[in-house]
Structure 1
Amino acid sequence: MYSLVKYILLLFLASLSLVSCNKKQGDKIKVGFSQAMTTDDWRKQMTSSMKIEASLRPEVDLKISDANNNVARQIEDIEKFIANKVDVIIVSPIQSKPLTAVVEKSIKAGIPVLVVDRKIDGENYTAYLGADNIEIGRIAARYIISHSKASGKIVEITGANGSSPAYERSLGFDQIIKGNKRFTVVSIIHGNWEKESVSAPLKSILLQNPDIEYIFAHNDRMALSAWETAKTVGLENKIKFLGVDGLNSVNGGIELVKSGVLDGTILYPTGGNEALKLALKMYNKEPISKNNILNTIVIDHNNAEIIENQMDKVDQQQAVIESQQGAIKVQEREYASQNNLVRLLSFFLVIILSLTIYSIYSTISISKKKKQLERINQTVIDQNNEIQEMAKVAEKSNEAKLNFFTGLSHEFKTPITLIMSYVESLIENEKIKGTALIDEVKLIHKNSNRLLRLINQLLDFRKIEEQKFTLRASNTKIYDFTNEIMTNFRGEAIRRNIDFQLICKNKNLELFIDKGLMDKVYFNLLSNAFKFTPDNGKITISIIENQDNTVKISCKDSGIGIPENELSNVFNPFFKASNNNKNSSGIGLHLSKEFVLLHHGTIELKSKQGSEFVITLLKGNSHLQPSEIVNNAENLNITPNLITDNLDIEPDLSEVHIISDAEKHSILVIEDNNDLVSFLKAKLSNEYIVHTSDGSDAIEKAMEIVPDIIICDINLVDKDGYEISKELKKDLRSSHIPIIILTAQSNKESVLKGLQSGVDQYLTKPFSLSILKQSISSLLFNREKLRYYYTNNIYRIEPESKFGNQEQTFITKMNDIIKMNVENPKFSVEDLADKLSVSRVQLYRKVKAILGINISDHINNVKLEKAAELLKSNEMNISEIAYSLGFSSPNYFSTAFKNKFGISPKEYKNDKY
């Protein structure tokens, strides 16, 4: 098998070599050309001729960069050529001096430099190619002298300052003119090679010297501008114009000479093709001259046409060459494509042959290993199934443990409720106030409360793990909030002589926080601070506003601190520092960090002398989601409904009234914890008639008693509190009874489930007895308001009304039945109960609970309402109305009517109220 694979690999490499053996060519000669600009025809011709020469030399890779007349950019272009390690650099400088340093840098890097057209300062370059600009200046001067019949005045228009051609042409021109006393240069205009730089200064000179004979411009563009300027003052025919460049293009020097605009122009060859040839000689290290001068001539009306024809033929030849080059390239591409196709086909043929051999071998090999792989695969599947089963068992076991752990934590809350409630009662008891016993009772209450907080931490840890916490932030004055929590620790601070301070410059500073969660953060931090701070120590909370829209809350103590190498672990669950010898659950700081993160804040620890926890929170609420923001009233409901470590409890100042059993409301307590049942019965019996159920007969007792209010636990034997509440609220006989749920479950899902079951109040264990009593009182008061509404609006309740639910349906249906039978003297309460599918006793209790009157009185009220309608219609007399509505006599009818409406039927009929 190995030898076969090796054989196929060798075939593959051999085939690949067929494709690539002729592909590799010799490395190309990289030539970089930095052109000064391409805005004028002369530069364009230079670039074009260099490209044509490069196209004739396939070994050359020519890269051209245009500096666009920007010196800094040209330096950057040359730097890039140096960085890319080109073989030769050709430079056409914009200015001489600025480019000197970068050219010298290229020479030092071992890259030869050919300077064309213009020179740099100094001689530190490989070679120069261009016309002799000094000689061009001399030729121009000699031409003017030889073509002038008398002495005359001359204006010279130079190129840009700093340009070597401008300097050298002026130098050569001046050498000849100064040697001839017949001619005078009356003015020199310093142009910048462009037309725009000539017009204004020349016009001023011509107006002062209208007898000027010659104008010599350093290029044809400026010469044309000089002619156009002379034309504006009417001197274009009196003055002769001489330019430099001699380009064969539109508005080029040759065309201007032929049209008579210029008297002559001096040919300034571009030398593009010669530059590339010279660059290749430099690359091949052939002997060359330092200065390579291009020949020039004067073009005037005598030879302009001849030179133009010669240049046209050159251009035609270049066009033909370019066309032939293009055709050759097309042919090369086609040849290369066909050649590659043949080689590719050969490659695939070899691959197919190799694959054929391999497939034959593989078929034999696969058939042998198929059964082996199937066995292995089956083994893997079996093992995977076993792993999945084990994972499911482990997951169920873990979930069962967690559920047991959570359930057990919930069960702790009921005995703690009893302990704290009884302790509350003892604290409020006037007999033990002022005795030594009160301190012991307060100590019991304090430690019970601490135990409750520990249980809540365990439950919060589970909720954090399941990501069930939802932020409920409201706008809070952070100073007042902090100060309120600190009151719970001031007693211990005084007892242990600890300097306990709050520092805050802005006491009106507001932050959006979840009071319930931030309460737990504060308690965790302060509990740790007091635990590890020695007597006579110091604990400081500082609230500082920052410029970056944040607030830092620092809790600093003078305790034992935390070892530096353990600082990164303090927020991990179950972590305990090595210097901590006190009892600790190890989850308080972990929960604190999670709660701060829910606020989109951060918490960090610094520990040098003692420990300092720093919480950073954002101001405003733009960082919170709309669902995370509640109003202050809503947030009041999430604070714990129990007495905290601050035990300065005010006694209940309300007077105790002894209420007779006839005046008492009835309460049904559904609870399977006998101690809690006994406690509630003992505390509520003075004000209410208390019935009890362990949950097994809760619904039956509720139907039998029809109590004024029900207090129900969640965790019961047969049915849970949610199921009992749902059944009672669905049943017409008991739907009006308010239900208070007592539970150890305080998460959002449990509260929502309770509300969906129809409960009216949700209290979490351990609860405050005073809060429970107030809840009962409030629900009964609300029911009285509901009864008042029904009593005063009983005949105006419509089915589509949004007030009420089961009660509204019941009353509406009952009223309809009574109205349908109002003229039936034999219609009885038993008949009404039968039509409503309830017993007579249940009907009586239902109506009494909702309306506060018995059913017979209610039927009479309906009849009297009907009587009032009949009296208004004036279709029947009083006696007829009385007998038609089932009253035994008109006198009895009149008495009942007057009792209800305050006037007699006769007065009502006459006045038509």
Structure 2
Amino acid sequence: MPIYLDLHEMPDGVTAEHVAEMHQADLKIEHKFNCRGLTYWCDEKRQTAFCLIEAPNKKALKDLHTHAHGDVPKRIIEVDGNIVESFLGRIEDPEKSQNTALNIINDPAFRVLMVIETSNFLDRLEANQFTIFTQKFHNSVSKCFHKFNGNIVKKNNNNYLVSFKTVTDAVLCAQKIQYQFKYVTPKFDPSSRKLNIAISSGVPVTDKENIFEEAITLGTRMCDIIKETFVITSEVNALYESENRNATVDKESVRVLKATDEKFLTQLMDFIEDKWHKSDFDVSFFSKALGYSKSQLNRKLKNLTGLSPNNFLKEFRLQKALQLLYKQHGNISEIAFETGFNSPAYFSKCFLDKYHILPSKYIQQHIS
């Protein structure tokens, strides 16, 4: 049976005790709607509550809440129990709240998310060297995550998504990973391996389809797009200062993204990800669509990425092409046209300029 996570907005005056009573009311009649309440999270500060419920469908969940206490959730998403546990640490009531008359759980579902990306090897390396680096890096970051109470949600050879309860833990963990990175990078060519870290924050249910999708998307884009190697959102920065008695992060090593820049980044990437593959998509087209003059767009993009709009669009397409080549999603000509290049020859030239290897050579060395 599907598992759903729903969002309730708590009116003024509603406390964790009230939410616990509502949860108990759900449990008393859940059998009538073929539902099973697993647990919930309550955040008095942000006035939100989230229920995790096994139900045949969303309607059954709504009917349960309606008949139990009348508080219908604002939003419901279907989730995977293992993913919920990775983000939030549990999928049942905490032990300390069990076997009591009323399980009062004042436990926020708000999380701080860290996205880590290390660049792919594009130079010729023996397979065992890549494996050794990957293992050393994973061992190093895993120790950091454990020390700073981070839960790994997802990982592969080049990316990590990690959930933290506090901003302080996330920031200190990131700084430790940055410091240790040089000791696990191959000495013969440190330039072939880079590290980008972004920290965002949010709640599990928004107007998006997937759990924590809003915070994950922003964090991933910050990692991919922002020119600095360590970036945090304005909310993360404010929370860090709040948790540390107004102590500030080191602005020399950490870029704090302004709220206006976050909005621009979201607007920019939403638009580009929808249109980037079209060969007639150029800078004048997307500057008008976003409501900026060419000079405004140029200034804002250079501030975030260090690139002009034309170069940004070209590099974005090349990165997409690299992913398609790695996944063997068509031959070179097909991928060139699919990623918006007018000819395979021009695509190969741009790929060589960017990655210092021809697409054909990359396929021979990394795919075949």
Q: TM-score, normalised by structure 1?
A: 0.13
Computing the radius of gyration from Cα coordinates, the structure with the larger value is 1
